[in-house]
Structure formats: structure tokens, C-alpha cells
Amino acid sequence: MSRFTAVALAAALFGPAAFFGAGCASVEDANSGGGLDLSTPDGDDLGTTAPAADLARGGGDGGSATPSCGGGKHIVVNEVKVGTAAQASDEFIELYNPCTNDVDLTNWTLVYRSAAGTSDVTIIGLGKTIVSNGFLLVVGPAYTGGAPGDQTYNAGKLAAAGGGVGLRDPTQALVDSVGYGTATNAFVEGAPVNAPGDGSIARTPSGIDTNHNNLDFAVATTPTPGAAN
């Protein structure tokens, strides 16, 4: 039997993947949804087997793709400013839409967890549409940024030293999250970014999402609410 015939027979009997290999799909790719973030094809494991710590974290590591977005993309928490000693309610949370279509955020929720918190504290229920490649700015009651807020919550929520912000869809699935400072909660993806001090934590560039907060975010001395980082 020729080598060509053997190859053809193996492919016919067992399928092409059995003979040629099923590819290099990661744990994340193979388990769509599964609590791991689908924002890029290889997401939190960067194209390799997901670390045991990531798998153990389960639903706290990243979130789920937004079905209407396509390509495994989803709305991200793009920039966060926490309150300061001077004004505890001078805060904002900026969302970014990397999708090719607008996304209606009605009945979605922004939530907060303290540094070691195990339960959500609601920041605000959303009720706006975020346009394709656009921003949605949610602000605290003493917000002093230049861009106008799209929605305002009623009290300061974000501790300066450490905490986590999460975005949940109407089914309460965690779509995206970030942990900062001393955070050890389930909203941390990979490792937390440093606390922002008087600045903000910002995805640099906007929308980047490898599911490692300390790599995706940087402390910005000058926040850019409602605009690209």
C-alpha cells in the first residue's frame, strides 16, 4: 500500500483530524463559555494551556462572549477612576464596545466587590445602548471629568486601595471584570493592576483584552473618560 493510499484510508476511517491532528485549540477555546473569557480566540491562556490557577478561578476569570457581537468579542470595562481622599464620589467607569454592531445594555448591571469580597454590590443598572466602537460613561455623583456621563449612580462605590468592577448581562453572566490594587476577589483576571491613586486604570490601548488585568491595564495619570486611552 502506498503512503498516499494509507493517508487517504486513515482520513476516511477516522476523519482528517485523527490523522493530521486536531489543531492547537486551547482549553479556553475547547470549552466555549465555561467561565473563561472569549474576547479573543486564545484569550486568557494566550494560545497555550490555561494555567491551573485560571481554571480553578472558574467564572471569575474573565467572562462570556456577547452573543450579538460575533467573533467571541464582548463589551469591556475599559477605564475606571476611583474616589480620592479629597472626594470619595469623584468616580467613573467607562465601557467600550469592540463589536461591529451596537449593543443594547438594558438590564445589564455594573457591580463591585471589595478587595477580598465574595458577593456583588450593585453600582447601577444600565439602560443605554453602546454603539459600535463607542464608549458608555457611568459616573459617580461628584464626577469632575470633562466628558458628560451617560448615566450617574447615587453614591461613591469604589475603594481607593483595592477592589473589583464587573459587568453582568441580563442573565447575570459575568461579561467582563477588572481587579485593582489589593484585590484578591473573583473579578481579578490573572493579576490585579495597580491601584490608580488620583488617576485611573485604563486599557492601553482601548479594548485590549488578554484576560490579565496587570498587562491589559495601566495607571493613567490623566484620565480620559469617554475617549480612547
Domain contains 197: yes
C-alpha cell at 226: 469617554
Q: pLDDT by residue for the chain (229 residues), tens digit each?
A: 554 444 344 444 444 433 333 322 222 222 233 333 333 333 333 333 333 333 333 333 456 667 778 777 899 999 999 988 888 899 999 999 999 999 999 999 999 999 999 999 999 999 999 999 999 999 999 999 989 999 999 988 999 999 999 999 999 999 999 999 999 999 999 999 999 999 999 999 999 999 999 999 999 999 999 999 9
Domain contains 72: yes
Q: What is the pTM of this model?
A: 0.75
Which range marks the domain in which residue 159 is found?
Answer: 65-220
| CA max distance for the chain | 82
* Sheet strands (E) in 29-155: 76-81, 92-96, 103-104, 109-114, 121-125, 129-130, 135-139, 151-152
One-letter amino acid of 10: A
C-alpha distances in angstroms, 156 versus 68, 91, 123, 148, 213? 32, 7, 9, 17, 23
DSSP tag of 193 = B
List the CATH number of the domain containing 100. 2.60.40.1260
User: Cβ–Cβ contacts within 10 Å for residue 199, how many?
Assistant: 17
Domain contains 80: yes
Domain contains 107: yes
Domain contains 43: no
Domain contains 31: no
Distance CA 136, CA 26 (A): 32
Q: How many domains does the chain have?
A: 1
Domain contains 115: yes
Domain contains 75: yes
